[in-house]
């Protein structure tokens, strides 16, 4: 295979995430320096593949980007070659399968193997392309850390640093004003960011999608603290936490495409209710996209670099339809079909949850 392989293509799909540039840099540098391969950067995720937007990467493009957040290739979490907007009818967008065109474009770009860096959505598309004969290698990214086939995704650690720093800062006002401070963090339907940052930041209550909560239980925790002279509390809420009635809170829902629904606003609902029921002044902070931005941590840079190098090795070995992953402390690979089969959620019986409870954190259950 090594002799046949001349040019890799790489695209970043889905939400941006700290560490993407480390991956692009690693794929390019390994290809140039070690294997004498060319690398095409396909811009704006799968849109670039569909619309034939790309450029040949050189050493200058990938110099000085290791510490930079975002992606030099651009990204989108909307464009799917199997469901792409192809027109409008009666005021509604009409979607069509343009995967044939996208695959033909890979040939036009001279791409022998496509490296897709993405979360579950982009990696599912990568799997479908593989099933249609494209030579694909996947690299997992997401701040949500919700992919079951890898122990960790890069981006998660940086998001945790940002969220933990926010909790540290919220403590100041909470203590000074004797308030309840509620922080909403991202994570979609998984509570990983809330759980890890809440523990690291010494939160009093952590509310996650995987553990149903009641207001009574949250209030008990606040009152128990008050009885010990602690007149403030910090609550970390995952954006996907379900209200006691079992419903999510959305900023926006898209009628014909639930994949584009935007979670957000649950902390405001919870904060209002807590203030009403407890009489304690309560303030809400939504951390939002700050969690996705900024300088990647050393861990994320190194994980991205390790994933990038491994992806090139898989491509050279002819091991397509695979996704690189971290297993313990080893870089490995799994079938793409397995990688996206199951979302990784917090197990309420997990050691981490038990540890948090042991040190007095309430999950509102």
Instruction: Choose between 131 and 251: whose C-beta lies nearer to ligand F6P.
Output: 251
| E strand spans, the chain | 7-12, 38-42, 54-56, 84-89, 92-96, 113-118, 136-140, 180-185, 205-207, 233-238, 250-252, 262-263, 282-286, 322-327, 330-335
Strand partners, 285: 183
Instruction: Choose between 64 and 85: whose C-beta lies nearer to ligand F6P.
Output: 85
CB-based contact 13:43 (threshold 8 Å): no
Instruction: Choose between 78 and 135: whose C-beta lies nearer to ligand F6P.
Output: 78
Instruction: Choose between 167 and 193: whose C-beta lies nearer to ligand F6P.
Output: 193
The one catalytic residue among 16, 79, 144, 204: 144
Give the whole-angstrom CA distance, residue 79 versus residue 137: 19
Instruction: Choose between 147 and 211: whose C-beta lies nearer to ligand F6P.
Output: 147
Could you give the string, one character per residue 244-263, with x where binding to ligand F6P holds by CB under 6 A and - elsewhere?
A: ------------------xx
Instruction: Choose between 41 and 187: whose C-beta lies nearer to ligand F6P.
Output: 187
Q: Which residue has the tokens 């996947």?
A: 138
124 contributes a contact to ligand F6P by CB under 6 A: no
Interface residue with ligand F6P, options 38, 144, 157, 204 (CB under 6 A) = 144
Classify 29 in phi/psi space as left (phi over 0), alpha (psi -120 to 50) or beta: alpha
Could you give the string, one character per residue 91-120, with x where binding to ligand F6P holds by CB under 6 A and - elsewhere?
A: ----------------------------x-
CB-based contact 182:284 (threshold 8 Å): yes
Interface residue with ligand F6P, options 188, 196, 221, 306 (CB under 6 A) = 188
187 contributes a contact to ligand F6P by CB under 6 A: yes
CB of 86 to ligand F6P, least distance (A): 22
Strand partners, 334: 323
Q: Compute the chain's Rg from CA coordinates.
A: 22
CB-based contact 136:113 (threshold 8 Å): yes
* Stretch near ligand F6P under the rule CB under 6 A, chosen from 35-43, 139-147, 273-281, 347-355: 139-147
User: What part of residues 11-40 is at the interface with ligand F6P (CB under 6 A)?
Assistant: 15
123 contributes a contact to ligand F6P by CB under 6 A: no
Give the whole-angstrom CA distance, residue 18 versus residue 159: 8
User: What part of residues 217-246 is at the interface with ligand F6P (CB under 6 A)?
Assistant: 239
Contacts (Cβ under 8 Å, ≥6 apart) of 87 = 93, 94
CB-based contact 204:180 (threshold 8 Å): no
Residue number with the shortest CB distance to ligand F6P?
A: 186
Indicate if 144 belongs to the active site.
yes
Interface residue with ligand F6P, options 29, 47, 161, 292 (CB under 6 A) = 292
Chain residues binding ligand F6P by CB under 6 A are: 15, 77, 119, 142-144, 186-188, 239, 262-263, 292
């Amino acid at each position: 295979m090594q002799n046949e392989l001349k040019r890799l293509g790489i695209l970043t799909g889905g939400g941006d995430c700290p560490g993407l540039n480390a991956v692009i840099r690693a794929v390019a540098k390994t290809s140039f320096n070690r294997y004498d391969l060319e690398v095409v950067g396909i811009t704006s995720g799968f849109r670039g593949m569909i619309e034939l937007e790309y450029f040949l990467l050189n050493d200058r493009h990938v110099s000085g980007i290791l510490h930079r957040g975002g992606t030099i290739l651009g990204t989108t979490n909307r464009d799917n070659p199997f469901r792409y907007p192809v027109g409008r009818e009666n005021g509604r967008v009409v979607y069509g399968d343009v995967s044939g065109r996208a695959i033909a474009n890979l040939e036009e770009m001279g791409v022998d193997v496509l490296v897709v860096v993405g979360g579950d959505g982009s990696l599912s598309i990568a799997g479908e392309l593989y099933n249609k004969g494209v030579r694909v290698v996947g690299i997992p990214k997401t701040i949500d850390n919700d992919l079951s086939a890898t122990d960790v995704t890069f981006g998660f650690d940086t998001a945790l640093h940002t969220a933990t720093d926010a909790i540290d800062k919220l403590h100041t006002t909470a203590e000074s004003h004797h308030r309840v401070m509620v922080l909403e963090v991202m994570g979609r339907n998984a509570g990983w960011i809330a759980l890890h940052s809440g523990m690291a930041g010494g939160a009093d209550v952590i509310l996650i999608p995987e553990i149903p909560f009641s207001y009574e239980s949250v209030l008990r925790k606040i009152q128990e603290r008050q009885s010990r002279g602690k007149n403030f509390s910090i609550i970390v809420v995952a954006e996907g936490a379900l209200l006691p009635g079992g419903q999510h809170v959305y900023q926006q829902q898209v009628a014909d495409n639930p994949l584009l629904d935007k979670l957000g606003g649950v902390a405001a609902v919870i904060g209002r209710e807590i203030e009403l029921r407890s009489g304690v002044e309560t303030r809400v902070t939504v951390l939002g996209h700050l969690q996705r931005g900024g300088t990647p941590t050393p861990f994320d840079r190194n994980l991205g670099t390790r994933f990038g190098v491994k992806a090139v090795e898989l491509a050279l070995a002819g091991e397509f339809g695979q996704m690189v992953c971290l297993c313990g402390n080893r870089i490995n690979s799994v079938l793409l079909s397995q990688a996206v089969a199951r979302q990784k959620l917090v197990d309420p019986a997990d050691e981490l949850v038990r540890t948090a409870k042991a040190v007095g954190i309430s999950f509102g259950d």
